[in-house]
């Protein structure tokens, strides 16, 4: 039986789409739901175009009611993937999905994590601090921002001439290359995949 995945995203949704498409061709898992706190998020169009059910919710629904949790339970979701999701994840959902919620962060945690550190803010900070490398971190989600156990990291070089936009492209390439495979390895408990072993924590 395929593992059942739900994706939470707040914006563009390039990672969500890449994950959906990857698992359409695999027999290990499938994406059943895409959930967003933003009714205008492009991720919703991307998901609908691929015939994936979408759910939108307000902050109040998310933190003060059980509607989102109930939807996840009704759909018998096994794993939750945060792909550009910008709200803090509520404790009651984390408790139901212990060690089954993972996030991607566009930097090498523990550097450039925490509140306010997302998307272009991070890439601007990387340029300002003249970092020579950056990368992606895939990690378990716990009650603190960006502090759960690290599952995987991949690095990319930052040149002195790189703008935040160039760095964003490099990060995007890493995310597209690795995120679905790391998810698949984790849910099938197959860490011996040689292509990824060098980066696994």
**Strand extents, DSSP E, 60-142:** 79-82, 101-105, 133-140
- 3-state DSSP call for residue 25? coil
Peptide bond into 110 cis (omega under 30): yes
**Smallest separation (angstroms) from ligand GAR to the CB of 70:** 25
Hey, what are 153's tokens? Answer: 């990291």
Q: Which residue in the set 15, 37, 153, 185 belongs to the binding site for ligand GAR (CB under 6 A)?
A: 15
Q: What is the CA radius of gyration of the chain?
A: 16
Altogether, the residues listed in the chain come to a count of 201
Q: Binding string, 92-131, against ligand GAR, x = CB under 6 A?
A: ------------xxx-----------xx------------
Does residue 148 bind ligand GAR (CB under 6 A)?
no
Contacts with ligand GAR in 18-37 (CB under 6 A)? Answer: none
Beta-bridge partners for 61: none
Q: Is 96 a catalytic residue?
A: no
Exactly one of 83, 138, 141, 154 binds ligand GAR (CB under 6 A); that residue is: 83
Residues that bind ligand GAR (CB under 6 A): 9, 11-15, 83-84, 104-106, 118-119, 171, 175
């Amino acid at each position: 039986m395929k593992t059942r995945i739900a994706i939470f995203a707040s914006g563009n949704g390039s990672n969500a789409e890449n994950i959906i498409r990857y698992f359409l061709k695999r027999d290990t898992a499938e994406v059943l739901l895409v959930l967003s706190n933003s009714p205008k998020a492009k991720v919703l169009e991307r998901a609908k175009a691929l015939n994936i059910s979408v759910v939108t919710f307000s902050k109040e629904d998310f933190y003060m009611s059980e509607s989102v949790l109930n939807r996840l339970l009704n759909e018998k979701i096994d794993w939750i993937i945060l792909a550009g999701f910008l709200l803090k994840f509520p404790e009651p959902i984390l408790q139901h999905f212990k060690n089954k919620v993972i996030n991607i962060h566009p930097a090498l945690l523990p550097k450039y994590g925490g509140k306010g550190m997302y998307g272009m803010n991070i890439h601007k900070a990387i340029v300002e601090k003249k970092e020579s490398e950056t990368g992606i971190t895939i990690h378990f989600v716990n009650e603190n921002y960006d502090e759960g156990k690290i599952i995987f990291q991949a690095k990319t070089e930052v040149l002195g001439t790189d703008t935040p936009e160039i760095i964003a492209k490099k990060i995007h390439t890493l995310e597209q290359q690795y995120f679905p495979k790391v998810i698949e390895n984790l849910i099938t408990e197959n860490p011996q995949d040689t292509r990824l072993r060098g980066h696994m924590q």
